[in-house]
Amino acid sequence: METADGEVPLRQLPRSSNNLHAPEYSRHDSSAESDPRHDEELPSYTQVRSTGQILGRGHSTLLHRSAWVFAFTIIYVVLVVYAWAMTAVLSTRPFKDKSWAYSFGTSRSSYYYRYNEADFDQERNIYRSVRTIHTFIQLVTLPWISTVCASAAVIYAQNQKDPMGLRLRQVTTLADRRWMDFSFYPALIYKWRQYGSKLLATAIFICVFGLITFPIQSVFLSSQSVKVRTLPQEIATIYDFSPNSGYSSSSYDTGKDVLKVRNALNKANVDFYQPNLWSNNSGVQFLTLNDLSSQTYYSQVPSGFNTGLLRQFAPRVNSTATYEIVRASDFPVDCSSRPGAFYAEYSSSYPQYVNSTSSYSWGVTACMPGNMTRSPWQLARKARNRQDFSEVLYLNMTQEDYRTRDHQTLFQITVNTTAGFFELPNYMNKGVPGPLLDQDPAELCDQHCPSQFNTYYSGYRRDGITVEGALKAGSLGPISTDNKGPLLSAALASFGPGSFIDSFIATAATVKADDKVTDEVSSSLGKVCAANTPLTNLMGSSSLECVSVVIDSYGDYYYPVGSYIAQWINYFQDNAEPVQKAFTSAAFLANQEFLSSQRGRFSVAQDLGADMDLPSISPVGIIVVSILMALYLLPLLALSLYAGFSYRWTERLDSFVMLRFGAFVGDKFFPLLIGRESDKVPELDEMSGVIRDVATYSGDEVIKIGRLGFGEGSRLREGHRYECFQGNDEPLNHYESRRMQRVIHRRA
């Protein structure tokens, strides 16, 4: 009883604790034998005084928190969340940008104004740390969950409101950490009231979700090697069908394009690899002119070129030839007089025998009746849109001799040309070239596209080369046409001024008339290739690819140079089917010469990227794993907070605690006997497992020292002292010392 001034009356301090008794249980109600320690002396630890102890206090200590559980749980949760967050982020993007590839935004500004060489060392180091942390987490998850639950079990067992709110069997179940015993789960279904508790249910919930989270995570999560951007490089500048502003062709350039096409036709071989020949069939490369079809096309960019992490577009042209054998009535009338038409007519005759009046004759007429002075190419503002056009060439080839009299074949050759842009192979389209686009690629470009328009374009110019020849009749205005169509270019190269049929006879006659050409030299010329016959090399013939300028006569037979042209005509007449293949190849070569000789204004860039190992997980996987983690991390965090900031009488329910429980209860209830089945020991269900202060107080104690026990009693309180082992004895704190001094002073 305190006085009015708050002091405790001076009374005799308790000399011992023998007046404190253990709780009595319902089964043994008031029986004296219910106290297992009845009439026994207290253990020595309650009587021995440590040095410096105040008389009568015994060994005692205050209750303390154990915040280390919460601190280490915070560290564990931070590691789990960090590893998972970094995994989710790295699977989609780097820290510095929105994408591992490029993101040029809607402005599509040129890449070299926005990016330097990319550095992803930070991401590499983080991913390395994530893998290490992930391995560590998988190892410690279940042990740490068990540690937190065991620590919380101490608080749970001492904070029950009802003395019988937790029975001894339930406490031993928590002490055995049976939330980790999966074989125990089925028994809980039928014996939950006997074994179960809220803490056990919470521990099982956390344990199960902590156990399944990471295996499920491994189902969704994988490792991938991806290409990340480095430093883009501009590879080339190419023509894009737009007009070259400020450029006008010189008079010296007139006809140069025809000469280039003619040179290409002469050099062509159907079996040679064409590096700029593409196919719609993905993965097909190393094509030759034999592979030309409606599924192939020409592009200035080499076949199979991959732009890597960038989306880039390039122009493409496909020209496909078809032919028909037509009647004379279908041949254009007055082609030579039609405005802008291309018309060329050649003919010759020569004697059949030496000193004979009989003769052979041949003739070739080429006609393109449309206005060929106007380019079929659309080079205006919308030149990058898809464009389609057709060209038609008529050929009249005749031979006349004493046998065939009049052998005439009339061809109508049509070349259909389609031009536009396509997307070059890249990582986004899995290395497959895109289809022909109907519109300007700038309208389709997204954040992966740097601008390809380059105002600083390059080109080259050659000195002009004049062309000469003798024609019977001709309308040659189209030779000066800029940006000729592929068929017109091929027709002028094969049948126009300076072509084989135009110049070969004149060249042979000049050589023969030269006084310096001796018989010996003339004989040698018969073994020299002086000219290439046009198109035959593209039709598969090798016997007529080269002709000489020698004029031979053997006995009565006469073989002038005109006979070689006759053989060339005869080959066309006898092999009409390869004509289609020849003109398709000629159009391809003409397109190649046309585009490669134009001034470039369209840049093509490339970035093949660098290999980098990254996590890979789908959005669904991120959601599922995040939910699973939350289901066990949040309860674990809450349980650790509960365990870490509550005052406790021991660290955890372990074997030493069970040893003290047994010592307290004594061998009267739990003697050392065989007990294979604890289910058949009813005392475990009848005895309380709630830790209480079971000491009785007279009311005049200066410092109350409680005693731990089961069942009836008061709840353990913060700031209250309880008996302890000698090694755990705690000196009086400042408040207790002052209070004790006041008592001693009063006594004095």
- What is 555-582 written as a DSSP string? TTEEE-THHHHHHHHHHHHH--HHHHHH
Q: How far apart are CA 622 and CA 624, in angstroms?
A: 6
So what's the pLDDT on residue 619? 92
Q: What is the pLDDT at residue 624? A: 95
Burial 315-343 (b: 16+ CB within 10 A, else e): bbbbbbbebeeeeeeebbeebeebeebbb
Give the other-Cβ count within 10 Å of 254's Cβ. 17
Burial of 667 (C-beta count, 10 Å sphere; 0-12/13-18/19+):
exposed
**pLDDT in the model for residue 598:** 77
Bridge partners of 347? Answer: 363
Find, among 636, 336, 569, the residue nearest to 475 by Cα: 336
User: Would you mind telling me the total number of residues written for the chain in this entry?
Assistant: 748
Distance CA 716, CA 649 (A): 8
Element (H, E) at 521: helix 519-525
Contact 344, 643 (CB under 8 A): no
Name residue 157's amino acid. A
Q: Which residues of the chain have pLDDT under 50?
A: 1-55, 106-114, 245-252, 455-470, 515, 554-558
Terminal alpha carbon distance of the chain: 19
The predicted pLDDT at position 512 comes to: 60
pLDDT value for 136: 94
Helices in 35-166 by DSSP H: which ranges? 68-90, 121-158
DSSP code of residue 606: E
Q: Do 638 and 247 form a contact (C-beta atoms < 8 A)?
A: no
Structure token digits, residue 612: 């980098």
Strand pairing of 721-723 and 705-706? parallel
Spell 24-37 as b/e; 16+ CB within 10 A means b. bbeebeeeeebbbb
Report residue 220 as tokens: 């969704």
Helix, strand, or coil (residue 72): helix
Quick one: what percent of the chain has pLDDT higher than 90?
A: 28
Q: Whole-prediction pTM value?
A: 0.68
Please give the pLDDT value at position 175: 84
DSSP letters spanning 41-69 = PPPGGGTPPPTTPPTT--SEEE-B--THH
Q: Can you name the residues that pair with 415 across neighbouring β-strands?
A: 321, 391
| Max Cα–Cα distance, the chain, nearest Å | 168
Q: State the pLDDT at residue 509.
A: 67
- Amino acid 267: pLDDT: 87
Q: Which residue has the tokens 């499920």?
A: 216
Q: Which helix (H) or strand (E) holds 746?
A: helix 734-747
pLDDT value of position 560: 66
pLDDT at 2: 42
